[in-house]
Structure 1
Amino acid sequence: MKAKLAAVFLFLILSAKVAIGQNQNPPFYPFGRYPAERTYKGKPVTPKLITPTQSRFRTVLRNGEGKGPNFAGHYTVVEWGCGSNCVSFAVVDAVNGKVFDTDMPPVNDEYPCGLLYKLESRLFVVAKSSSVNGDCKAHLYIWDGSRFKPVNDSTPVHQTMIFTAADGTFQFSHPSDFQVCTQGKIEPCIQSYIPVCEQDALVCVIYAAKQFEDTSFGGVSFQVREIVRKGETMTADVCVTPYPRKDPGGISDWPEFLVSAEHPQEMISGILFLHGVNGGVAMSHSISVDLYRSFHKQRCFELSVSLTQTNPNVSEPPMKTLTRAQQKELDQSMSQMLHSFRFSK
C-alpha cells in the first residue's frame, strides 16, 4: 500500500498544476518554429498500462486518448484534476498506445499559469509565476518522441489580442502590436507598393516590421475574406474551385489561384482547408500569397498570408534581404496567427 501511495505521490509531483482564472490573453509563442513531422488521423490505440500508477489512472487515460491526438502530431496530452488549482497529465502515443508519465517539466516549484501545446507543434509551454497574481514567465520545451527537452529560445514573446468577427462567426489571436483593419476601414493597412490587404477583406492584420525597414521586405499580412459569386449560389464546390478571371488586357483567362501541389490541404483548428498559391510582379516588386478556403455554414471563407518584397538589386548598393533568423520569426508569427483561426459558430 505504501509503495502504491509513493508511486502516486511521485507521479503527481512530476505532473503539472494549472492556475485557474488567469485573465490575460496567452502570449505568442513560437509553435510554428517546431512543427510536428506528421499528423495521425487513424483510430487511437488504447493506452498500454505498464506501471501501477498508469493502471490506477486507466479510466482517465483511456478516455483522454480516445479523443484523439492534440500534441506533436500523434500524441495526446491527457490532463486530470489532482486538487485545488492542480492538474496531472501524461502523454500518450496514439499510434502505439505507449504512455509517458515521468521526467515531466517542473511546474510545482512556482505558481503555475498554464500549459500550452498544439497538435501541429512539438513545442510545449509551461508558464509559471513567482506569486499568485504576478507576471507569468514561459518555460519552453521540445518533445523528442520520448521526453521533454528544455529550449533556450530568444524569439520575442508578444502579448496577444483576440479578434472576434462582428457577427461572431470566427476569431483568431494576433500580437497586440500588429495593425488591424476591418471591413470598410481597410485603407490604413494598404501601405506597401503592392497591397497585402484586399479592399473586400473582413479583417486584415499587418505584421509590425520596423526591424525590417532597411531590407527588401515590403509587407506581410494575414487576412480573412468571404468569397461571394454574383448571380451564383455558393456551394462547397464553387468555394474551392479556382475560377478563371480576365487579365488586365482582356486577352486571356487564368485561374484565381493554383492548388498547392506539395501541400494541397491544411488542417486549421480541426477544419480542413484547401491550400492554394498565387503571386505577381510589378515594377521590381513581387507578391506571394498562400490562401486557404473552406465552406462553412453556406459561406465560403478564405484565409491568406500575403508577402511583398522588392528586388534587392534595383538600388546601389543592393538592399539587404532578411536573415534566416528574421525569416523564421516572420514565418512562425504568421503561421501561429493562421492556425489560431477558428469558427465560433
Structure 2
Amino acid sequence: MVKSKITCKLFKLTNVKSLQNVQDIILKRRYADPLITGLTDKKKTEKMSEYEKNFFFTWGEKSKPNNIKLNNIDGIERSVDYLFVTAEIEFTKRTRKDSRGEFLPKKDRINYIQITNYFFCIGESVYLIICSSIEKHIERVKNLVGMENLTNVDDSYKIPSDLFNWMFFIYTQNKGKLDDSIKLMNIGGFIGNTGDEHNIFKGTSDQTSELIITKAFISNGETLKTITARLKNDDIDIIFSIDDYSNTHIFVKQSMKRKLFEAEDVTPFLIIYLYSYLIPKIKSLYNISAKQFLDKEKKQFSIKIGLEVIESIINHNYLSFDEVAALFIEQKGAKRSIRVK
C-alpha cells in the first residue's frame, strides 16, 4: 500500500564514496541499544542474556543497486546510483515489568518497526535519506549507520536564505516559469508545520500563494524557512514540502511520474528524482538569478505585495480613505482612531 505522505530526512555520509562502500561498510553493521534501568535494577540486568538486555538494530531487505540516467543541471546526461534498504528496529514498550516488579520476557516488552532508507551517489558524494517523521526512530537509524559515518548536509543541499522568497516571486511575477523545462504550478509559504496534509494543494485552482499571511510575512522583510510547492516538467508532477536543509515531505498520492522512467516504482522515483535533480536544479536557477533578485527585484516585489496586503485588509474591513490616512497623518492635538463596526 502506497503511503500518502513520506517524510525524508537528509544526511551526508563520510568515509564512503560509492554504493559499494555502503554495502561493504554500512550495511554490515548492527547496533545493540541497551535496556535502560535504574540502579536498583542493575543486578537484575546483569543476570540477563545479551539478547534479553539489548534492543537490536539491523539491516533487513535491500534492493539491488539501481541507476537512473538524468539530465544534470547543465543539460548533460548523468547517472545517479541508488539503493534502498529497511532498518529493522527493536525498541521498548512502556510496560516493562509485571505486577511483581520483575522484568517481562523480552518478547512481551518489545516494539518493532521497519524504516525505509535510501542511499544515493552523486559523483563521489553519498547521501542518506531516512524516511521517518519520528525523531527517536531517526536517531536509531543513525546509530545503526554509525554516527562517525554521518554528517549534516553540505552546501550542495543547504538552501540559500532568499531562495524560497525568490520562488514565490517567480510564481507570482513570472507565472511560475522557472525555466523552459520546469514550471512552478503552485507554492505556499508556511511558518509552522509544513507536513500538515491540510496544507497541500487540492488542485490547480487552489491559489495557496494568495494567502495574505504569506505576502505579509515576506513584505515585512522576513524570509520563508519552509515552503510547499507543486513542480511539473516532462518527467514528473510532484507536490512536496521542503525546509532550508532539504528535509522534505513528499505527498505521494498527489504526485506522479509522467512520460519517462516507466520501469521505476513511483515512490523511489519521486524521492531520488527530487533529491538528485530537482533540488540541485532549483538551486542552480536561483544562483543564476540571485544578484538581480537581491539587488533590484526583491525590494520592488516586497513593496508590491505589501500594497496588496494593505488593499486586501482595506477591502475586507470596508475601511474608508480617512481611516487609513489616520495611520499616516498626524493631526495636531488629535488622536488616531479606527472605527469598529
Q: TM-score, normalised by structure 2?
A: 0.22
Q: Which one has the bigger strand percentage? A: 1
Q: Which one has the bigger helix percentage? A: 2
| Structure with higher RCO (Cα < 8 A, 6+ apart) | 2
**Higher Rg:** 2
Q: TM-score, normalised by structure 1?
A: 0.21
